[in-house]
């Protein structure tokens, strides 16, 4: 096999990053940062199988609109993405969601009802609004209020988000409110995903305070001003030009010769006794490296390490993924009957609709559409829908148009339609996920100079992906160069 990379620069450690999504970009950037500090000379390479960087992040600018095919914002509560933006000089171009109207609607009996004020993803921080909401029956409200008196659950270990909510607040809260919210955020089935891996703070609340509503109420005064009614829409920021600005800002910091687009990796191997890794490329060539960071989805990582370590491959393969599509439609504002006085709507499975949620993009952030237009983004698919991406783009667009038309009282055809497909893109943190991740980390640590990063392991949001990429870079460098990362380059550890 030809050696594509040749010898590494004199004295520099050569690290290959596989995958040019935000985790791989953050890893490559961290390598550059540490290298630039001069203590560990680094020669990074980033291999990406597609013809562009960003992975799931994909911003399209067309017709005066800024269209997000993937994520449209990230949380500031988790510091790593904001901290990266600060180091990239992008922080002053981050914009928050608009001040008002920060609320989320829930589709209920064909109408859009606001999520009760203070409802924090799994439970209420204020009882008044939930007692008044038409989303729940009186029986449902009484059952919800029982959270105040119910004892702690006797649950050893992990449980699903759905089981937790049904236990604390009852089935109706789960089906009518939590299921659509969780499906929208995680494209997941709440009855299958792990509470400990996705929302550990609720587990902690029960452990410490017993009642979730009481614990939320205690923390609410701090959070209420900032949050409005829906955590999905609160405390988020985005670059003014769209998420691709983040990708481009990182890319500008990487030496052009380090980035190899349209260059898929087929396998990573370490021939018996060899000090160097061999990274086999899809075109039949290979490159030698001191260290390797796999910032690929777990199902791809499984393929890449199958020959190196079949057990590691099997562990990665066991993380399932869901597929989804985002359909963005622009309308003349006057053609949309609904007031769009919120940031979006979530749709319960029981409504029998194709869409699981929609964001009112031109309301949520300024500058997303020309004046007089409404930019709406519908999500389809997720863990509860099978075969979604067997449908062609026209069928997906038609389904979104139909549902948005009914739900938002739209009386005209869209001015613009864009479909973005995300096959097997969203890892599903099933019950027991943390144990699986611990086993993966333990197995991977048997291979000095190898690290895994990305959404599959310790959080799907952009901040967690940034952190995982940066930590992978530090781990590999520390292992390879035998040095600790200079304190002056410390990143937030919270
Ligand atoms: C529709 C949608 C909306 C979302 N919205 C938000 C949001 O608003 N806020 C938020 O914080 N998070 C959001 N997320 C989650 C977040 O966007 C993702 O978890 C994150 O972008 C994943 O980044 P990653 O680098 O781990 O993976 P990816 O972005 O999947 O990148 C992996 C890269 O590896 C490449 N690759 C794969 N195999 C190989 C190979 N063999 N060789 C070379 N390259 C390879 C792929 O082409 C890809 O570019 C959303 C996710 C989806 C799907």
Taking the centre of ligand 1 as the mean of its atom positions, its distance from the CA of residue 69, in whole angstroms, is 11
Q: Which atom of ligand 1 is nearest to the CA of 266?
A: 41
Tell which phi-psi region holds residue 304, choosing left (phi > 0), alpha (psi between -120 and 50) or beta: alpha
Counting ligand 1 atoms within 8 A of each CB, the residue from 4, 16, 18, 21 with the most, and so the one to mutate, is: 21
Taking the centre of ligand 1 as the mean of its atom positions, its distance from the CA of residue 125, in whole angstroms, is 32
321-427: CATH architecture: Alpha-Beta Complex (3.90)
Longest dimension (CA), the chain: 73
Q: What is the DSSP code string of 412-478?
A: S--SEEEEEEEEEEEE--BTTHHHHHHHHHHHHTTSTTEEE-SHHHH-SSHHHHHHHHHHHHHHHHH
Residue with the nearest Cα to atom 6 of ligand 1?
71
Token couple for 334: 């006057």
Counting ligand 1 atoms within 8 A of each CB, the residue from 4, 18, 19 with the most, and so the one to mutate, is: 19
- On the CB side of 96, how many CA atoms lie within 13 Å of its CA? 11
Angstrom distance (rounded) from CA 36 to CA 45: 15
Residue with the nearest Cα to atom 37 of ligand 1?
296
Counting ligand 1 atoms within 8 A of each CB, the residue from 72, 296, 381, 471 with the most, and so the one to mutate, is: 296
Topology match between the domains 13-55+243-319+430-489 and 115-225: no
Residue with the nearest Cα to atom 29 of ligand 1?
55
Taking the centre of ligand 1 as the mean of its atom positions, its distance from the CA of residue 70, in whole angstroms, is 8
Angstrom distance (rounded) from CA 426 to CA 410: 30
Would you state the torsion angle of the CA atoms of residues 19, 442, 290, 85, taken in this order, to the nearest 10 degrees?
A: 50
Taking the centre of ligand 1 as the mean of its atom positions, its distance from the CA of residue 317, in whole angstroms, is 17
Question: What sign does the CA torsion over 203, 208, 212, 218 have?
Answer: negative
Taking the centre of ligand 1 as the mean of its atom positions, its distance from the CA of residue 209, in whole angstroms, is 36
Residue with the nearest Cα to atom 10 of ligand 1?
461
By DSSP bridging, strand 104-108 and strand 344-346 are parallel
Taking the centre of ligand 1 as the mean of its atom positions, its distance from the CA of residue 340, in whole angstroms, is 29
Cα 149-153-155 angle, rounded to 5 deg:
175
Residue with the nearest Cα to atom 41 of ligand 1?
265
Whether the ω angle into residue 101 lies within 30 degrees of 0, i.e. cis, is yes
Taking the centre of ligand 1 as the mean of its atom positions, its distance from the CA of residue 384, in whole angstroms, is 20
Angstrom distance (rounded) from CA 421 to CA 355: 14
> Per residue in 55-65, pLDDT tens?
999 999 999 99
Burial string for 203-230 (b: 16+ CB within 10 Å, else e) reads: bebbeebbbbbebbbeebeebbeebbbb
Angstrom distance (rounded) from CA 288 to CA 8: 8
Token couple for 454: 């990305």
Taking the centre of ligand 1 as the mean of its atom positions, its distance from the CA of residue 452, in whole angstroms, is 14
User: What three-state secondary structure class fits 275?
Assistant: coil
For the beta carbon of residue 489, count every other beta carbon within 10 angstroms.
15
Angstrom distance (rounded) from CA 327 to CA 416: 10
Angstrom distance (rounded) from CA 115 to CA 124: 10
Give domain limits for the chain. Answer: 13-55+243-319+430-489, 115-225, 321-427
Q: What is the DSSP letter of 326?
A: E
Counting ligand 1 atoms within 8 A of each CB, the residue from 20, 70, 382 with the most, and so the one to mutate, is: 70
Write the CB contacts of 26 (distance below 8 Å, at least 6 apart in sequence): 84, 250, 453, 465, 466, 467, 468, 469, 470, 473
> Per residue in 120-138, pLDDT tens?
999 999 999 999 999 999 9
What is the CATH code of the structural domain delimited by 13-55+243-319+430-489? 3.50.50.60
CA 257 to chain centre: 29
Counting ligand 1 atoms within 8 A of each CB, the residue from 55, 294, 458 with the most, and so the one to mutate, is: 55
Token couple for 237: 């920021």
Pocket around ligand 1: residues whose beta carbon is below 6 Å from it? 18-24, 47-50, 55-57, 70-74, 264-265, 295-297, 300, 324, 326, 422, 425-426, 454-455, 460-462, 465
Q: Would you tell me which CATH number, out of the four given (1.10.3720.10, 1.10.10.10, 3.40.50.300, 1.10.3110.10), belongs to the domain 115-225?
A: 1.10.3110.10
pTM: 0.94
Taking the centre of ligand 1 as the mean of its atom positions, its distance from the CA of residue 9, in whole angstroms, is 31
Token couple for 378: 């519908």
Write the CB contacts of 65 (distance below 8 Å, at least 6 apart in sequence): 328, 330, 368, 369, 370, 373, 375, 416
Alpha helices in 133-287 (DSSP H): 138-145, 161-169, 171-173, 179-186, 195-198, 200-209, 212-227, 244-253
**Nearest of 277, 314, 331, 219 to residue 13 by alpha carbon:** 277
Taking the centre of ligand 1 as the mean of its atom positions, its distance from the CA of residue 219, in whole angstroms, is 32
Taking the centre of ligand 1 as the mean of its atom positions, its distance from the CA of residue 382, in whole angstroms, is 15
Each residue's pLDDT expressed in tens, for the chain with a length of 494 residues: 445 544 466 678 999 999 999 999 999 999 999 988 877 899 999 999 999 999 999 999 999 999 999 999 999 999 999 999 999 999 999 999 998 788 999 999 999 999 999 999 999 999 999 999 999 999 999 999 999 999 999 888 899 999 999 999 999 999 999 999 999 999 999 999 999 999 999 999 999 999 999 999 998 755 544 444 433 334 899 999 999 999 999 999 999 999 999 999 999 999 887 889 999 999 999 999 999 999 999 999 999 999 999 999 999 999 999 999 999 999 999 999 999 999 999 999 999 999 999 999 999 999 999 999 999 999 999 988 889 999 999 999 999 999 999 999 999 999 999 999 999 999 999 999 999 999 999 999 999 999 999 999 999 999 999 999 999 999 999 988 876 665 545 566 55
Sheet strands side by side (includes 277-281) = 265-269, 277-281, 286-289
Question: Do the Cβ atoms of 290 and 15 come closer than 8 Å?
Answer: yes
């Amino acid at each position: 096999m030809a050696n594509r990379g040749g010898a590494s620069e004199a004295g520099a450690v050569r690290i290959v990053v596989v995958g040019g999504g935000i985790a791989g970009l953050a890893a490559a950037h961290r390598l550059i940062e540490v290298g630039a500090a001069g203590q560990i000379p680094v020669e990074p390479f980033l291999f990406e199988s597609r013809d562009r960087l960003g992975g799931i992040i994909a911003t399209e600018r067309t017709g005066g609109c800024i269209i997000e095919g993937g994520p449209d914002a990230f949380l500031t509560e988790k510091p790593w993405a904001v901290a990266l933006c600060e180091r990239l000089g992008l922080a002053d171009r981050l914009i928050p969601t608009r001040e008002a109207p920060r609320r989320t609607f829930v589709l209920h009996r064909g109408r859009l009802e606001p999520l009760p004020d203070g409802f924090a993803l799994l439970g209420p921080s204020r009882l008044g609004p939930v007692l008044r909401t038409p989303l729940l029956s009186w029986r449902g409200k009484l059952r919800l209020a029982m959270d105040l008196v119910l004892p702690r659950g006797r649950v050893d270990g992990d449980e699903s988000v759905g089981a937790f909510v049904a236990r604390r607040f009852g089935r109706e809260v789960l089906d009518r409110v939590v299921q659509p919210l969780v499906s929208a955020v995680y494209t997941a089935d709440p009855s299958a995903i792990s509470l400990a891996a996705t929302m550990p703070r609720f587990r902690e609340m029960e452990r410490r305070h017993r009642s979730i509503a009481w614990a939320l109420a205690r923390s609410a005064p701090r959070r209420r001003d900032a949050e409005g009614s829906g955590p999905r829409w609160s405390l988020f920021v985005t670059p003014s030009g769209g998420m691709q600005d983040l990708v481009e800002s990182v890319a500008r910091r990487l030496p052009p010769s380090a980035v190899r687009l349209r260059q898929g990796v087929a396998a990573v191997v370490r021939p018996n006794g060899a000090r160097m890794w061999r990274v086999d490329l899809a075109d039949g060539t290979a490159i030698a490296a001191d260290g390797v960071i796999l910032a690929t989805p777990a199902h791809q990582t499984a393929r890449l390490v199958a020959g190196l370590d079949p057990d590691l491959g099997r562990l990665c393969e066991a993380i399932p993924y869901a597929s989804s599509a985002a359909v963005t439609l622009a309308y003349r504002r006057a053609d949309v009957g609904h007031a769009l006085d919120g940031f979006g709507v979530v749709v319960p499975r029981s409504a029998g609709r194709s869409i699981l949620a929609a964001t009112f993009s031109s309301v949520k952030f300024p500058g997303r559409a020309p004046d007089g237009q409404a930019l709406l983004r519908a999500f389809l698919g997720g863990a509860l829908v099978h075969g979604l991406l067997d449908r062609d783009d026209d069928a997906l667009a038609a389904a979104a148009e139909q549902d948005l038309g009914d739900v938002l009282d739209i009386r005209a055809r869209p001015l613009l339609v864009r479909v973005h497909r995300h096959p097997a893109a969203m890892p599903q943190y099933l019950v027991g996920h943390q144990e699986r991740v611990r086993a993966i980390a333990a197995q991977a640590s048997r291979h000095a100079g190898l690290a895994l990063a990305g959404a599959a392991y310790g959080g799907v949001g952009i901040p967690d992906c940034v952190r995982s990429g940066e930590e992978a870079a530090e781990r590999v460098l520390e292992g390879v160069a035998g040095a600790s990362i200079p304190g002056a380059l410390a990143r937030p550890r919270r």
